[in-house]
Structure 1
Amino acid sequence: MRKIPAELVERYETEGWWTRDTIGELLARGLAHAPDVPFRVHSAVRPWSGTFRDVEGTARRLAGGLRERGVGPGDTVAFQLPNWMEAAAVFWASALLGAAVVPIVHFYGRKEVGYILNAVRPRAFVTAERFGHLEFQPDLCADVPVVGVVGRDFDELLSDAPLTGTLPADPTGPALIAFTSGTTRDPKGVVHSHQTLGHETRQLAASYPPDRGDQLTAAPVGHFIGMVNAFLIPVLDGTPVNLTDVWDPGRALRLMTGHGLHIGGGAPYYVTSLLDHPDFTTDHLRFMRYAGLGGSSVPVAVTTRLARLGIHVFRAYGSTEHPSITSSRHSAPEAKRLFTDGDALSGVEIRLAEDGEILSRGPDLCLGYTDPALTARVFDDEGWYRTGDIGVLDEDGYLTITGRKSDLIIRGGENISAVEVEDVLLALPGVAEAAVVAAPDARLGEHAAAFLRMLPEHPVPTLDEMRAHFEQAGLARQKWPEELHEVEDFPRTASGKVQKFRLRQDIAVRT
């Protein structure tokens, strides 16, 4: 893990941003304070309705069963589940045991899941028998000591002797390992401590508008922000949990009017897909009071459109590594909320490098990566994190993201590594060279566009042929290129490196 300067540790502890609480202790207190708060899963295949007490009962029985099988503080517990009750039970059980939890996005394929399980070597892994494209594959977890499959044998892990209390754990140690795509070929394992995750949870809970209403959580709980919003903040706040396992704008609109559920933001696509749906009416606006937007690029056209409809918009900027770097408070002036990504949050410091790259540090910054070489490359000895994003600061300290150094595509809030996609493309017959860039997407912000240089006498593959190849490779469908372009050669630098900015310019001209 990275070395955190002693003066930062002292400051974070003195200010109360870092405490000695573990995530298990935070959860236990919150659950004891509000046991009767509703917890519901709105699903066509696995609906569920109960209370925090009911979910905690399952979590404590699971914790007891895992403990009987040798799982305890310092171990890791991984799960790959949709937004179901069992995902909450696994997360809460792991925290109560003092184990580090490893959420895996439910639509990740064989390649990603195999890499993650090999990287963290969990003591236990819980997944689903089947959901959409997710299918239990026993060979991937053959070396995991404890495996549970929802829909098959999950209940066999539940002990008749529930765990009482919480097991002690080091609050400075790992509580969460979240995997995210980036510029590397494989997902990056981001390690958060009880202290960094605890601060992030308390900070977000305090920043949300008090009259935001009962929220519908559609972001996958395998993602950092979906997990925090579903399993941590409601417990601290004593507010209901409402999950949906598939984003269907029409169904979301029915849940809003039928159950009084509110949509509070996320990646812009979640909000714009509601406004663009034929079932949307002005009556739905009373369930869209606020729109906190982030997770992908936030076009000004979207923020101004929402503001004209009377929705109170504010933007935020962060990453899995540093979840909350800046945000416009909901009380900030409208121009700051609509046109900037906010100013630094509690304890956070930001500065710009000579090339405009954003550097950040703060009490919610992760401990580092599971890959020590990546940790050494991204963090410096003074505690600064190199974000890979480019920005500008105005005279009031408000940040606006203007570009990206990293070779990354953000599709509807999902990070896609161009390098990872290029590796799969290069295995297609006849492909001599491949380059993948971000292309504008009216719904999702960006999608992957592929440029291929073919070997002589080899035709460029069709989209259907490319999709079949990616299906065979086991890469998540969200990462598949959505357009293909053939080039005779690539624009290059003097050293031969592909000039991807020119490929992006070419796409802009075509569209």
Structure 2
Amino acid sequence: MTDTAHALGASRTLWELIDRRATLTPDRPVLIQDDRRLTFGELRDGCERVAAGLYGMGVRPGTVVAWQLPTRIETVLLTGALARIGAVQSPVIPFYRDREVGFAVRESKAEFLAVPGEWRGFDHTAMAGRLGARGVFEAYDTLPADDPSVLPPPPAEGTSVRWIYWTSGTTSDPKGVLHTDRSLIAGGSCLAHALRLTPEDVGSIAFPFAHIGGADYLVMLLLYGFPAVLFEKFALPDALETYRKHGVTTAGGSTAFYSMFLAEQRRRPGEPVVPTLRLLAGGGAAKPPELYHAVVREMGVQLTHGYGMTEVPMITMGSPDDTAENLATTEGRPPEGMEIRIVDGEVRLRGEAVCQGYLDPDQTAAVFDTDGFLITGDLGHLTPSGHLVLTGRLKDVIIRKGENISAKEIEDLLHEHPGVGDVAVIGLPDADRGERVCAVIEQPPAAPPLTLAAVTAYLRGTGLATHKLPEQLERVEALPRNETLRKVLKYKLRERFGAGAGADGG
């Protein structure tokens, strides 16, 4: 990490980091979207004007503001404005629907909810009305603005909880994860330090900015003073023209992104899909070693992969100067200040990037051990060089394209279907998605055979988010169970169906 980036990383708050970077390089670009460019100076000034507009609406330090917005310049401005006020912000992934959004708004006690209006065929404002949310306002391309002179001083410390992120984990309902400005700055600093980026790089944010990775990436831009291209909607090959136009040098997000870029490369061997691209990086899902080798060999770029979660946005990260063996088979090393302890094969964490716990105090008490280490539920070990190797998970959670999906939530909904006697939902390895969602069902006697189309239609009707829908359906006479408590043995199902989709799979 450069001396400047190291000094900026000591910022107490996100707003202080925004302000200090704007003072250093006010005219350098930070956000690029379509034909729009925003400099660091314009980011700071715009955030202050929006903060004044929000203040006029009644947003004060400590006010909880939920927002469900796509990856846009306006979304980043809103984030910075809330940080300037010292409000508590609760980002919600934009493709979540009534169940998840309603839970997040209720549990966080949000006094305001920012939505994009009608976006990609779905009316978010109407949903907010159905949910009875308070303080609903649309923030897609127009934000409230006023004279910043009305604002109180910015927050002076960064250790108060000002962020509530949401993760499904292993339970049906999401968990509200509590973060501070300092924990997010620490996570972003880890990412920036590992990737060895420079002010000459051009990054990209092709994933939902509402994901905790959005804050991670913003911190990295502020530390190193380089821009990122924002993608409101990401699909290949359509996005390639934008990558080329802006000379993107680093891209990625998760295993699914690597696979998509590799597939495009294979359609045009010998011709770089993005000539300026030198690095793919990400995390959030398992990375097969063969995928690493294929990307390096066929695309001619480096690939670095890391390990993070909503509770700890960046734990370890591969570095471009690691060996090929470590980049292919490990999750990288932790930065200075991140302690990893392996207890009975389980990974535990302590450090500034670790969250403060959950909205539910009982959940918080259960996730920290007596030494203050976060119990991850992930299994792994450290190599002699300090690299982390993950070997499995204790948590029954499926990670599809970097997003956590609760198996129990889907199982609970399917149990209500009259054609389902019993069900187990599992994650199966998938080269494109990291994992795919597979529902394995027992049906009552004489019940008509269920199809994947029928199951997904039913789940859509319950309001389940699209990205959680099963992509594979398997019917069995009886789910495998142990002989004591008759618990379903999901590992047997993974062994049986993990090779590929079944006759009714997708």
Tell me the TM-score normalised to structure 1 length. 0.89
For residues 25-57 of structure 1, what are the alpha-carbon distances to aligned partners after superposition, in whole Å with 9 as ceiling and x for unaligned?
A: 2222223333323355546xxx74443444444
Among 417, 437, 440, the alignment partner of 1:448 is 437
In 2, Cα distance between equivalents of 1:287 and 1:165: 44
Deviation at 1:452, TM superposition (A): 1.2
For residues 312-347 of structure 1, what are the alpha-carbon distances to aligned partners after superposition, in whole Å with 9 as ceiling and x for unaligned?
A: 222211211112222232222222122211222211
Aligned partner letter, 1:433 = D
Are the equivalent residues in 1 in contact too, given 2:173–2:409 (CA < 8 A)? Answer: yes
Change (3 A) 1:217 1:74: same
For residues 339-396 of structure 1, what are the alpha-carbon distances to aligned partners after superposition, in whole Å with 9 as ceiling and x for unaligned?
A: 2112222111112222x11111111111001121111111113111111111122222
Aligned partner letter, 2:88 = A
Q: Does 1:36 pair with 2:24?
A: no
Q: Does 1:207 pair with 2:198?
A: no
Pick which of 64-73 and 440-449 moved more: 64-73
Q: Does 1:429 pair with 2:431?
A: no
Aligned ranges 1:223-372 → 2 under 5 Å: 223-229=211-217, 231-277=218-264, 278=267, 282-284=271-273, 286-309=275-298, 310-354=300-344, 356-372=345-361
Q: Does 1:25 pair with 2:12?
A: no
Change (3 A) 1:321 1:92: same
Q: Does 1:100 pair with 2:100?
A: no
Deviation at 1:160, TM superposition (A): 4.5
In 2, Cα distance between equivalents of 1:48 and 1:140: 34
Matched-pair identity in %: 32
For residues 273-303 of structure 1, what are the alpha-carbon distances to aligned partners after superposition, in whole Å with 9 as ceiling and x for unaligned?
A: 1221246762335433122242100000111
SS in 2 for 1:343: coil
Change (3 A) 1:225 1:166: farther
Aligned ranges 1:39-188 → 2 under 5 Å: 39-40=30-31, 42=33, 48-132=36-120, 134-136=122-124, 137-140=127-130, 142-144=132-134, 146-150=135-139, 154-155=142-143, 157-161=144-148, 166-188=153-175
In 2, Cα distance between equivalents of 1:202 and 1:394: 23
Instruction: Name the residue aligned to 1:3.
Output: none
Deviation at 1:143, TM superposition (A): 4.1
Aligned partner letter, 1:486 = R
In 1, Cα distance between equivalents of 2:361 and 2:269: 48
Deviation at 1:305, TM superposition (A): 0.9
In 2, Cα distance between equivalents of 1:300 and 1:189: 33
Deviation at 1:482, TM superposition (A): 0.7
Are the equivalent residues in 2 in contact too, given 1:17–1:199 (CA < 8 A)? Answer: no
Deviation at 1:175, TM superposition (A): 2.3
In 1, Cα distance between equivalents of 2:84 and 2:195: 26
For residues 122-147 of structure 1, what are the alpha-carbon distances to aligned partners after superposition, in whole Å with 9 as ceiling and x for unaligned?
A: 22211111222542223255342x22
Are the equivalent residues in 1 in contact too, given 2:333–2:386 (CA < 8 A)? Answer: yes
Aligned partner letter, 2:74 = E
Deviation at 1:85, TM superposition (A): 1.6
Aligned partner letter, 1:138 = A
Aligned partner letter, 1:500 = K
SS in 2 for 1:386: strand
Deviation at 1:237, TM superposition (A): 2.2
Are the equivalent residues in 2 in contact too, given 1:218–1:226 (CA < 8 A)? Answer: no
Query: Where in structure 1 are there 5+ consecutive unaligned residues?
Result: 1-14
Aligned partner letter, 1:320 = T
Pick which of 209-218 and 473-482 moved more: 209-218
Aligned ranges 1:355-434 → 2 under 5 Å: 356-434=345-423
Aligned partner letter, 1:360 = L
Change (3 A) 1:115 1:285: same
SS in 1 for 2:435: strand
Structure 1 residue ranges, 4+ long, deviating more than 3 angstroms after superposition: 15-20, 39-43, 47-58, 160-166, 278-281
Instruction: Name the residue aligned to 1:507.
Output: 497
Are the equivalent residues in 1 in contact too, given 2:30–2:38 (CA < 8 A)? Answer: yes
Are the equivalent residues in 2 in contact too, given 1:274–1:280 (CA < 8 A)? Answer: no
Change (3 A) 1:473 1:261: same
For residues 95-130 of structure 1, what are the alpha-carbon distances to aligned partners after superposition, in whole Å with 9 as ceiling and x for unaligned?
A: 000112211111111111110001111222111112
Pick which of 333-342 and 104-113 moved more: 333-342
Aligned partner letter, 2:261 = L
Instruction: Name the residue aligned to 2:3.
Output: none
Instruction: Name the residue aligned to 1:472.
Output: 461
Instruction: Name the residue aligned to 2:504.
Output: none
SS in 2 for 1:376: helix
For residues 143-165 of structure 1, what are the alpha-carbon distances to aligned partners after superposition, in whole Å with 9 as ceiling and x for unaligned?
A: 42x2211359x54x322456557
SS in 1 for 2:27: coil
Are the equivalent residues in 2 in contact too, given 1:60–1:163 (CA < 8 A)? Answer: no
**Aligned pairs, how many?**
489
Change (3 A) 1:353 1:477: same
Change (3 A) 1:394 1:300: same
Change (3 A) 1:285 1:149: closer
In 1, Cα distance between equivalents of 2:50 and 2:8: 31
Change (3 A) 1:17 1:376: farther
Deviation at 1:311, TM superposition (A): 1.8
Deviation at 1:17, TM superposition (A): 11
SS in 1 for 2:306: strand
Are the equivalent residues in 2 in contact too, given 1:28–1:166 (CA < 8 A)? Answer: no
Are the equivalent residues in 2 in contact too, given 1:318–1:324 (CA < 8 A)? Answer: yes
For residues 437-490 of structure 1, what are the alpha-carbon distances to aligned partners after superposition, in whole Å with 9 as ceiling and x for unaligned?
A: 012222112110001112222223222222222222111111000111112211
The Cα RMSD (Å) is: 2.4
Aligned partner letter, 1:276 = A
For residues 396-427 of structure 1, what are the alpha-carbon distances to aligned partners after superposition, in whole Å with 9 as ceiling and x for unaligned?
A: 22211111111011111111110111112122
Aligned partner letter, 2:491 = F
